[in-house]
Structure 1
Amino acid sequence: MLKIFGKVSDSDLNKAPTDENCTQTCFSDSDCILAFFNEISNCQLFFYNSTETLEVQETNRDDGLFVAFKTNLSTTDLEHCPIESEISPKIFLGEDPISWANTSDSTWQFKKCIGNWKMFKRSNPDITVCMQVFILGKGTTQKEAEDYCSSMGKKVTGVAMVEESQWILNRTGELLNVTEWTKSEHYKGVWIDGERKGEGLYDITWSDGYTEGYGAFEDEWAYLDSGLTVAEDCLFVSKTPRKGIIDDVPCGDGAGLPHGVACGYKLE
């Protein structure tokens, strides 16, 4: 636990329960990420699975307020107390290690995706996108997919990196109990955003509001042919007979192939 003089923004300790071992209580709880307490042992704990954003502001000793981060320090010397420039707390719970961002000289901020949604950091543009796969049943239509994501206030997500489509495929396999992508398991996939609007094979338009570029199509990771007899201008992620795991299918019904949808949103 890394203890500093500080407070959690928009939190009030006046009604918090008393716990003289606030820091140790947090340390012992596998889901606790932060303890906020004062000199009279009012204690408020914050937990990974129920927290999406937190802001910590450094205070003075005279304020009598303390914050303890659960983190791993870069030093192996347990007697070493790091100076401020050495403090870079990270949270190692869940699938993605999350760093506390030092947004100013005296403010630390933590953000993560809701629940167990997967976090992807994109570089062009520099944004963080959260994704999750949902299985709705074989023959899920495009409208059903869109409505499902919309019901949560999210979008059918596009993909900007190969890692994103690979994760969607692997997550789909887990949810469908596919242990090996044999030939009989090919084309068991989920809808993603993206529609061909022009004549070019890769002339795909994203409509989720945050996906740009075609990095996910690089190195033959997309298996697009636009259809031979029926137009196939929308996208889903699935295992195919080739390397490509992004396939084009008919908009609307997807030829009855999609089993669900990959939803997403930009982390603000």
Structure 2
Amino acid sequence: MANPALKAAFAAKQFVVAPGIFDMISAKVADGLGFECLYVTGFGTVASHLGVADAGIATYSDMVSRVGQMARGVATPVIADADTGYGGLLNVRHTVMGYEAAGVSGIQLEDQEMPKKCGHTPGRRVIPAEEMALKIQVAVEARQDPNFLIVARTDARTTLGLEEAIRRGKLYAEAGADIIFIESPESEAEMRAIGQAIDKPLLANMVEGGRTPILPAAKLAELGYAMAIYPAIGFLAAAAALEKAYAHLKAAGDSNAIGESYGFKRMTELMGFPEVWEFEKRWARE
């Protein structure tokens, strides 16, 4: 079942900040920090699971099990990237039903052609807006729990311009989407125009090194946004830390003086070892 706390946060006009998670370590670390929502990033999940580009290679089967594992392993509500819904209308219905059964509280669907490309990268093309509106209608009909949120994303800004992206956002809102996601606006002025034009909760995608300026949460709220996701923050930080640690090991031949780390004791606690040890103590045979 979807966590009703997320829908309630939007209803209360509470600005929602959601870090990107991509595996169970990132999910558990983020879960303990008091966020209102966690965002399962397609880029990071595909990269950590398959080690390939987020370019439509991962399938529904690849993603739903990973998404479900993360959603079940945390207490915080989760919104998960589901690309294009992995096909046509029937695929969208199947995807929504599967993601909802997996335990997420919201699903993100986008209007790209298949195979999709990662947002903020070149070459993205979109399907007709009316075709995407049908996908949104199917998604709304397919969900079982009204607390399960439908996020509709359009990638039209980069190839077709801001005006078309806004038109699509409005159309997807009319089709029943709960949250509208205009991907990769290129200035604060464009973000303000989006906020003024669309009367639905808006999602801002804050990608380090991407096409959209990264703004503070307070500023995003002022511009009319209700939520910000940071899909890349976790895997970029993890990759940098790994590169530093591995490079030290290669150069020095040991793991001393690699700088501050999470700590083995903290990691055992994060992964639930104390509970395992307590169980073994209670059931140990003399």
Bin for the TM-score computed over the shorter chain: under 0.3
If each structure's helix is expressed as a fraction of its own residues, which one has the higher value?
2
What is the TM-score when the length of structure 1 is the normalising length?
0.22
If each structure's strand is expressed as a fraction of its own residues, which one has the higher value?
1
* CA radius of gyration, larger in: 1
